[in-house]
Copies of this chain bind each other. A is one copy, B any other.
Amino acid sequence: MNVGGVPLRPLAAAPGRDAVVVIDQRALPHRLQFATLASVQDVFTAIRDMWVRGAPLIGAVAAYGLALQARVDASDAALAAAVAHLQSARPTAVNLAWALQRMQRHLFALPASERGGAAWDEAGAIAEEDVRVNAAIGRHGLPLLQAVAARKRGPVNVLTHCNAGWLATVDWGTATAPVYQAHAAGLPLHVWVDETRPRNQGASLTAWELGQAGVPHTVIADNAGGHLMQRGQVDLVIVGCDRVSARGDVCNKIGTYLKALAARDNGVPFVVAMPTSTLDLALADGVSEIPIEERSAREVTHLAGLDAAGSVVEVQLTPAGSAAANPAFDVTPARLVSGLITEHGVVAAQEDALRQLMEERR
């Protein structure tokens, strides 16, 4: 997508095949800042410390991390160790494991001498596939927005949580792909952007993205969505996901479940943009089986922002003696999900429908 009118992606492979350049998302929305990752350890740090985040993007960046490892030592042992290390950076999103396993499968089938070049090509293929997948999610999601526009006056009001935008992917985003396509098609739109505490990916990333694209939007506290739905001010909720179980339970950023409950209570469709790489058919009950990452309490007790002098500073919000807890994801049971927008079309959040979709595509 464009930034200041210029196309930009959050991930670019260096022409010398010796590094990847990423947007360091910790500095947004106040500064657009890049970081060069030149080793598997750089990639590990960038994923763990969330310089890059978003399930599809961390899969693609991790694939490049393995390619950086393959440049140095492409032995089975070295690659397997790198896979295990990278996979440990974030436990919840399945795309990370999915991309690393795909890379490992591909490379183990080749002699070590060919692995360096092949790894770079395969990481590039994963990244380009992500772009095509998200564009397809946009095409399949667009009719949902058009249908709302056809039955009401004024803009279509979408609510989204966290950032499932192009910054969370290689391009287009997942939840935002239908929004960007609708905006490009001239559909009147307005997006309610959940701030998404504690890391504020909505207020800092989604709002920034939508602003760059000229999409009308309003930032709200995470607390406000239910009230807006009660007042008829939300036509559709679209979110991304980090892992979806075989029966359609959706693991996504903490707080998603609360919005799904409010959507159900008010008859608002709650749809999830899901690349099929995010589907984990090995899991049935998402609520009990998906591991939920517990992140640092400091993300709750402290918050960074721009001070009056234009510097980014971190401030403490809580009393010195108060503990904080920080579960990073929650699981929305399939019964609350109106539909999953995949690259192959919209599918019900039901086990038979999901298994059939994957069978057909095998």
B300 near A304 with CB under 8 A, answer no
- With A30-B316, A219-B323, A305-B316 known, 4 other A-B pairs at CB within 8 A are A218-B324, A219-B322, A307-B313, A312-B315
Task: Kindly list chain B residues whose C-beta atoms are within 8 Å of the C-beta of A303.
Answer: 303, 305, 315, 317
Task: Kindly list chain B residues whose C-beta atoms are within 8 Å of the C-beta of A208.
Answer: 319, 322
Task: Kindly list chain B residues whose C-beta atoms are within 8 Å of the C-beta of A304.
Answer: 315
Binary interface profile of A, 195-233, with partner B (CB < 8 Å = 1, else 0)? Answer: 111101001100110110000011111111111101000
Question: Can you name 7 A-B pairs with beta carbons within 8 Å?
Answer: A197-B223, A211-B321, A218-B325, A219-B323, A227-B292, A303-B303, A305-B315
Interface membership of A35, Cβ < 8 A: no
How far does the Cβ of A216 sit from chain B's closest Cβ, in whole Å? 8
- B193, B221, B253, B302: the one contacting A255 at CB < 8 Å is B221
B195 near A228 with CB under 8 A, answer no
How far does the Cβ of A201 sit from chain B's closest Cβ, in whole Å? 11
Name A's B-contacting residues (CB within 8 A): 29-30, 192-193, 195-198, 200, 203-204, 207-208, 210-211, 217-228, 230, 253-255, 257-259, 261-262, 265, 287, 292, 300-308, 312-319, 321-327, 329-331
Give complex CA distance A219, B225 in Å: 21
A317 near B220 with CB under 8 A, answer no
B317 near A200 with CB under 8 A, answer yes
Task: Kindly list chain B residues whose C-beta atoms are within 8 Å of the C-beta of A322.
Answer: 29, 193, 203, 207-208, 210-211, 217-219
Closest to A324 in B: B219
How far does the Cβ of A337 sit from chain B's closest Cβ, in whole Å? 14
A319 near B207 with CB under 8 A, answer yes
A224 near B327 with CB under 8 A, answer yes
How far does the Cβ of A311 sit from chain B's closest Cβ, in whole Å? 9
A197 near B222 with CB under 8 A, answer yes
Listed residue (A258, A303, A326) with the most chain B CB atoms within 10 angstroms of its CB: A258
A223 near B222 with CB under 8 A, answer yes
- B30, B198, B203, B307: the one contacting A314 at CB < 8 Å is B307
B222 near A287 with CB under 8 A, answer no
